[in-house]
């Protein structure tokens, strides 16, 4: 019985990781073509559909962590996925005025590199029970550059969207209303952006510790 459960888990995670890998591979390939043909202004239009799919699928990783399907702690998984979803839906999808900014391209480059490597790493691991040493190194090393670039790009895009939030009043709930509740998306986004200050060092330290542990194990095998 335990063997059947383990097999089902590996099969599910293998399929999940390969599907999302294909999503991010399509994002990356579409971005490259758009950059070469039309420049960074055309990147978002080329990748939008694939990005919305690949990034939204990551919601499942929060559930995987909560139910213990994977070893990743909720404390690291939740802020990473929540932040990505906020940028994807709450900024890029919600405010088209941000689409042509070069920070979209820098962010997608860092996200694409990270996720193509990460999902292929876990896809191979769950499918075959091992991962090549070069992929282990990439999995636990590329974040050194990609994570800061992605973080700066994300914060920059939130800031760029501020004037459009204020002008449009999108997602705001003004008083009076039947719920007697006030909500301003501009201040919510500003608060969300401020959370990067404590969250960034926390996640960076977590990934550095992961890297040290993973590479030390790789040397002994």
Q: What is the pLDDT of residues 29-83, one digit of tens each?
A: 999 999 999 999 999 999 999 999 999 999 999 999 999 999 889 999 999 999 9
At 5, the pLDDT band (50, 70, 90 cuts) reads: confident
Domain ranges of the chain: 1-220
pLDDT at 182: 92
Q: Is the pLDDT of residue 205 over 80?
A: yes
- What is the phi/psi pair of residue 184, to 5°? -120, 115
At 95, the pLDDT band (50, 70, 90 cuts) reads: very high
Q: What is the pLDDT of residues 103-137, one digit of tens each?
A: 999 999 999 999 999 999 999 999 999 999 999 99
Q: Which of 20-24, 97-101, 153-157, 202-206 has the lowest mean pLDDT?
A: 202-206
At 140, the pLDDT band (50, 70, 90 cuts) reads: very high
Q: Is the pLDDT of residue 221 over 70?
A: no
Burial 96-119 (b: 16+ CB within 10 A, else e): eebbebebbbbbbbbbbbbbbbbb
**Positions marked catalytic:** 147, 154
CB count within 10 Å of CB 68 equals 7
pLDDT at 1: 60
Residue among 57, 219, 215, 52 nearest 142 (CA): 215
């Amino acid at each position: 019985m335990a063997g059947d459960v383990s097999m089902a888990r590996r099969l599910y995670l293998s399929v999940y990781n390969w599907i999302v890998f294909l999503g991010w591979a399509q994002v990356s390939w579409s971005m490259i073509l758009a950059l070469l043909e039309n420049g960074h202004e055309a990147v978002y239009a080329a990748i939008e559909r694939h990005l919305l799919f690949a990034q939204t699928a990551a919601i499942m990783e929060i559930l995987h962590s909560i139910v213990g399907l994977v070893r990743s702690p909720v404390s690291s998984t939740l802020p990473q996925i929540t932040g990505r979803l906020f940028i994807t839906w709450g900024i890029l999808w919600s405010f088209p005025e941000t689409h042509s900014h070069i920070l979209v391209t820098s962010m997608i480059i860092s996200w694409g590199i990270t996720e193509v490597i990460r999902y292929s790493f876990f896809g191979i691991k769950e499918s075959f029970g091992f991962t090549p040493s070069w992929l282990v190194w990439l999995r636990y090393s590329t974040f050194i550059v990609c994570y800061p670039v992605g973080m700066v790009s994300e914060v920059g895009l939130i800031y760029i969207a501020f004037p459009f939030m204020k002008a449009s009043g999108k997602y705001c709930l003004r008083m009076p209303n039947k719920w007697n509740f006030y909500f301003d998306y501009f201040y919510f986004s500003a608060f969300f952006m401020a959370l990067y200050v404590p969250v960034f060092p926390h996640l960076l330290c977590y990934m550095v510790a992961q890297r040290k542990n993973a590479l030390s194990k790789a040397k002994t095998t």
